[in-house]
Amino acid sequence: MHITLMFSPAPREVLELDLHVPEGCTAHGALELAGWLKAFPELATPALTLGVWGRRVGREHALRNGDRLEVYRALRVDPKVARRERFVGQGARGTGLFARRKAGSKAGY
């Protein structure tokens, strides 16, 4: 079987590896075959999140030919909190749907 492994160990850094694995290989087994568990010790933690084509799967998920196995890092900041902080920094006038309107136009157009 042919699969693709994807992992981003740091922001703006993406590792992609095409790998041939035996039939019935699990997601965890694919990481072992690739050697990523030794190269990246943080992948061995039980809190590891894996996905196949954007859908979350467990470590024992059986892979199929053509699958793209993705390894997800934990979020450092809650997206809602980050948005609130950006809004505070920008101010109410510089945000929203109608922030960049033409000079002389009515509000909302």
* Contact present, 67 and 75 (Cβ < 8 Å): no
In this structure, of 11-15, 22-26, 34-38, 91-95, the range with the lowest mean pLDDT score is 91-95
pLDDT tens, residue by residue, 49-82: 899 998 999 888 999 999 999 998 877 778 888 8
Report the candidate in 24, 28, 17 with the shortest Cα–Cα distance to residue 1. 24
- The full 3-state SS of 68-102, as one line of letters, equals EEEEECCCCCCHHHHHHHHHHHHCCCCCCCCCCCC
What is the pLDDT, as a whole number, of residue 99? 62
Q: Is the pTM of this model over 0.95?
A: no
* Contact present, 34 and 16 (Cβ < 8 Å): no
Average model confidence (pLDDT) for the chain? Answer: 82
Structure tokens at 42: 């943080």
Could you tell me the domains of the chain?
A: 2-72 (3.10.20.30)
